[in-house]
Each structure stands twice: as structure tokens, then as C-alpha cells.
Structure 1
Amino acid sequence: MNFLAHSYLTFSDEQIVGQFLEDFIRNKDRFSFPKKIGQGITLHRAIDTFTDAHQEIHEAKKVFSPLVRLYAGAFVDVSFDYFLANSLPDKTLKDHSQRVYRVLRNHEMFLPENFLRMLNHMEKDNWLYNYREDWGIKFSIQNVLNKAKYLDKDTAVFDAFLKHKAQLQVHFDAFFPDLLEEVQRINETFNH
């Protein structure tokens, strides 16, 4: 789950909440939230759809596919949070991380119990900020491995990340401007 990218690609506090909620709610519940939170849910889905179809993502998945097959996209997402974190000035990343935690805490009434439990760990260990560190991404990669039903928890995904970091950076650099443009376009449709 690429929490940093989804939280960064927002235009309001409520959209941040919706971006996080998307992975934690049932499809039928997505219309039961206030309008701007719903926009965040919609934006999350649009980002995922755009990302899954992008040629750079298809290429980046080849780094992880031999190890994790269908889970390759999840590890590309996590890897791209590392590159996003490192593309931002330190203060910007620090401020963004603290804003996200504050916004989520201010909207706890909308967040499911399982998300709140995770948020405690996310905030305590400052996941969003620490994605800029190799150990932060290693931790995130291990979280994905631990949750994946059909993957060995010792699969050398982090080693593949380190070995192919330069190649993954090239894919991120080619992909992210296209995603920023798409997100801007989608947000403009919310205001019409």
C-alpha cells in the first residue's frame, strides 16, 4: 500500500481521509461518506486504475515478478513511495507526514477499527516520513509479505529493490509526472 503517494495526491483534508479509507471499506459502503471524503475514495480508485495501466508500471513490475508474480504491483507501489519521499525536501515531507496524521486523527469517527489500530503504529513509527530510508521501505515491504497469503515471508523482495533501485527510479521519474497530471485533471472534474 503506497500510503505516501495516495496522501500526497490530494487537494483537501477530506480527500486524504478518503484516500486512506478506500483500502479499508467494502465497495458498497463507499457512498456512505460526506462528499469530499467520497472524492478521496474516487481519487484513490482512479489513481490505482491509471497506475495499473501505465507502461512504466508494467516495466517496473518486471523487477519483482520473478519473485512474487501477481504481487509485483504492490511492491512497485511501495518502492515508488521511497522515490516520492526522496524527491521531496525534508521539511516538506516532515510537514506532510504530520499533517496526514493530524487530519486522520481529526476524522477518526469515519475510520474503521482495523485502520485505527494500524494508524497507531503508522504514527508512532512515522511511516510516511521514514519511507525515505532504506530500512523504512524494507519494513513496508516486509509488511506486504506478511499480509500476502501465498508468498513466503522470507522472499528476497527488498534485495531486489536494492539491486534494481536505479532502474526503479527511472520508471518512477517517467511515471510520476503523468500521474500528477491525471490527478489534477480528475480533481478539476470534482469542481464542476
Structure 2
Amino acid sequence: MNYLLHLYLADPTPESLLGNLMGDFVKGRLDESISPELRQGITLHRRVDSFAHDHDLVRRSKNRISPRYGHYRSIMVDIFYDHFLARNWQRYAPMPLESFAAGVYRLLQEREAQLPTGLRRIAPRMIAHNWLVSYRDVQVIGRVLAGVSGRLRRANPLAEGLGELTRNYDVLQEDFETFVTDLEAFVAEIKAGGVP
């Protein structure tokens, strides 16, 4: 769910960006039908997800959200973290977010035939509604939560989750800022070959 964070951590190559974005849509073992560069991006995505799942700060963020949201708190934290990254993008990346997002959208259009079905289905909406940039807006996050809620098979409270962001805004942002520093160090070590 945290598309922007995965894209931010990718190398600035089409294959790495695409692979990191595909990570939520490609399940199971990665075979030879996927190019080595895309496999590397998908693998990085999976490793980032595992790192985040086990990280104390992510756990703390989830615990800041009302228990009534249950396991949906993970989805909420992913979306909230993308909001904080979009909102403070200039602190993390030299390229303006608008330019970065436009490059990603171009890549999705150019490589449409390569996209897994789920990503191919959402890419036009991502582009048309400028998801990566619009995540800056708190009200958009409310609409994102409602959209995700509607796509899930089971009834869930996600559509009511915006209040959890606004109520816990400062502490969630602090969690994100510290977590992203740890995450950047982890990813740098992977890229340097220091983490098997």
C-alpha cells in the first residue's frame, strides 16, 4: 500500500522503480520469466516489507491507532507513512515530487504490457488522480482509506480511519521520520551487499 515509499527506496532506473512498485502484485517465487533487474526490485520491496513488519517504530505507530481497526492498522500505517513522505518529500529527495511522479507515470504507461494484472488495473487511476503527489493532502488520505475499504471483500472500518491520522498526527510523523532513517540505512546496506 505504501507505493511512494517503495519508489523512493528504489534505484533511479526504470527496472528498479518498476520492480519495487510491482512488489505488492507479484506473489510467490520469482522465476526466470522476470528479468534480473525486475527481480531485484521486487526482492527489495519484499525485504523492505519484512523490515517494516518487524520494526518497533512501525509497531508503535500501529499501537497508536485504535484497536477497533485490528489488523487494518497495518494498511493505515502504510498509507499514513506515504502521506508523511509526500508532505516532506523535499527533505528526502532532490527532485521535486511532481517531476518524480510524472516519471513514474510515464514508466507505467510505457511498460503497461509488463505490469502484473493488479497493477495494470490501478495504474490508470494512479495516473489520472496523481496519487503520488496528492498523498500530501490530508483529505485525500481520507478518500484513499475509503477507496481501499471498498475494494476489500470483508466489511471493515478503514473508511473512518482519517481521524486516527489527525488525532495522532505529530507522534505518527515522529515515528515515520525515525523509522525512515533506519530503513534508509537498511536499504543502503542491502545495496552495498552488507545484508545477505
Between stretches 8-17 and 125-134, larger displacement belongs to 8-17
1:1-192 correspondence to structure 2 within 5 Å: 1-11=1-11, 12-29=13-30, 31-89=32-90, 92-152=96-156, 155-189=159-193
> Which residue type is aligned with residue 100 of structure 2?
H
Of Structure 1 and Structure 2, which has the larger fraction of its residues in helix? 1
Note if contact 2:30-2:39 (Cα within 8 Å) is conserved in structure 1: no
TM-score by length of 2: 0.89
> Which residue type is aligned with residue 41 of structure 2?
G
> Which residue type is aligned with residue 67 of structure 2?
P
Aligned residue pairs total 191
Identity of aligned residues (%): 29
CA distance, structure 2, for counterparts of residue 150 and residue 64 of structure 1: 20
Structure 1 unpaired stretches of 5+: none
> Any idea what the Cα deviations from partners look like across 1:134-154, whole Å, max 9, x if unmatched?
122112222222233334356
> Which residue type is aligned with residue 27 of structure 2?
R
Q: Which has the higher contact order (CA 8 A, sep 6+)?
A: 1
Between stretches 167-176 and 60-69, larger displacement belongs to 60-69
Structure 2 unpaired stretches of 5+: none
Please state whether the residue corresponding to 1:27 is helix, strand or coil.
coil
Note if contact 1:82-1:132 (Cα within 8 Å) is conserved in structure 2: yes
Please state whether the residue corresponding to 1:177 is helix, strand or coil.
helix
Note if contact 2:147-2:159 (Cα within 8 Å) is conserved in structure 1: no
CA distance, structure 2, for counterparts of residue 60 and residue 31 of structure 1: 38
Note if contact 1:82-1:131 (Cα within 8 Å) is conserved in structure 2: yes
Q: Quote the offset at 1:91 in angstroms.
A: 6.1
CA distance, structure 1, for counterparts of residue 150 and residue 32 of structure 2: 31
CA distance, structure 2, for counterparts of residue 123 and residue 178 of structure 1: 30
